[in-house]
Structure 1
């Protein structure tokens, strides 16, 4: 039954990948031997309570002790590492984006700005992650060697394990799991679009070749109008980062994650439509330049451009919502 599967999952996820399948079969056989032939759910609960904390049981299956940080502290160490590192990386990225957005002088092409954001942003996050990893590891290594032996609940993340904890466990499937790379990608993407948004008049537009160099000629968007919506943009960016953190902590698609993802997509798409439909959002010089290659009235061209942009945004958002909902139901 599902309660047994959840218990086995909580034990085996703490073991090395190569040992999980064999130990899962062994543990399942052990549990079945503890149950009567006509067992009930209460019999299952009683057997699992006798087996005790999955983290403690997992320790008995581990082939080699962890010398730097022993099993008494290891689970708390990993839990704190998973919680603190993403938060520290997020704070570092936010500070980097704010500094870049307000210090950019407009002397680089869009592709170079994107490469700079990706390269420096990832570099800063990796640097912060290494520092957090080092100091947290040092603290737990010192605890391992000099602290008195802690209570058993330290094993499972700072509180005593009970059978009710299994009700919170959701069995992972390949399609429901959320990759850590998706978290990093979300942070980097947020850094890119926020930086570009607040520097659109120097990044998005028409570039011309001049002496083997790209010269920014005509901006696409009216930066003054974009800046009028800065509060909404900051809210969406913060919401997006919070959503990425929440998804990273959850580790898999759930109904709550899908709901938050849907809400984020709807809000961000609505704000995008509000901004893109503002009068004079498209710079006249940009449209005049394009109309030298297209035989069309200016008003009609701007309308088609805005409508096409809205359609693309809505379709992209719809696919994202559909993917989130379908993954949460698997």
Structure 2
């Protein structure tokens, strides 16, 4: 009985390369590889190398058979290649900046309106936010991987009209003036609310803020406004945002959130006389004021979070 001959390294390499090729291309590639490998081995042996070592060296230089086969068929070995990478990255970043925050905020608001405890709100919102992030990463990548494999185009051809506008540094004189004007108007609104009132009812003007906030509660808020003005001046003088200024901005936002939410929770933020008028004249359903308070709290938190993120975004931009 005759023992079958053991395939040589060259035969094994060619078989590994051609097995994933279309049947019509296998014979041509096999013949091409046999000829090129034989020529390379012959060149090495003529230079004095051992035939077995020469064969091993030639095959090593050719590389992974799967990679060589992909080159014959123009099949990409990357999940997303350079043709689609920028479109994938831009879309993924945009969705990650918007969708998880909206989902988490919406779920947290819904849970709060339903009367859930703080622990239940966190337990529902955070895992869902993580799940949304994972799904976004997977499905966006999956779609672009399909586009990569099918050869479809994801974006139009780039031209110079797509260049972004030159970014501003956020430290111009107009930016400073706008910030100071807003802060002065905010401080003036506090005094107008106290001495003139913003709401007319039965020929009488009512303040929006709780009267007991004067003087110390409002003084604390005026102090925060003064610090915000000092921060705007510091950014203007410095010429750019820095990590220290962004940290100060974050601290001021957190102080404002703490001030507002603590008063709101103790029902000491809004004038009770105004609440009574609204309840009496609007025929609000039971729990409507609680719903309004929760929505107000979420608005305060959302604005403060945006202020913090914007400060750090400008810091990162200016650092570049």
TM (normalized to structure 2)?
0.42
* Larger Cα-atom Rg: 2
TM (normalized to structure 1)?
0.40
- Which gives a bigger RCO, structure 1 or 2 (Cα 8 Å, sep 6+)? 1
